[in-house]
Amino acid sequence: MLAFLYTHAMTFVQDTPDGDARAGKRAKTTSAAELTEAEKAAKEEARKKRAEERKVRQEAIDRMQIDIGHVDGDDHLDLTLDEEREFLKRYLEFLQQQQRTAQN
């Protein structure tokens, strides 16, 4: 609760040019009551947009969690350790051969 109050108070301070908390609070409380219809509509539109963005983000997270859940242990590996060892052995032989060829 204290963190909320502190954060709320800091918002008031940050909204005033000189950092005066009381002036910021007055500005916040009086301006909220004096919003024009256009400002109210813009505020509501912004709220709806944020809600839609949260919904889209949550749907993406849900899809990723489903996809991640379908991965079976070693599905992400395209080679077994034995195959990888054999590949590296052949590659090392190839490099050694290239080095010998370059020296001659």
Quick check: 18 pLDDT over 60?
no
The domain limits of the chain are 1-34, 36-70, 78-104
Residue 28: strand, helix, or coil: helix
Question: Are 79 and 87 spatial neighbours (Cβ–Cβ below 8 Å)?
Answer: yes
- Please give the Cα distance from 46 to 35 (Å, whole number): 15
Quick check: 78 pLDDT over 80?
no
Residue 59: strand, helix, or coil: helix
* Maximum Cα interatomic distance, the chain, rounded to a whole number of Å: 88
Does the pTM exceed 0.85? Answer: no
Residue 90: strand, helix, or coil: helix
pLDDT digits (tens, 9 = 90+) for 20-71: 666 666 655 555 557 788 888 899 999 999 999 999 999 999 888 887 766 6
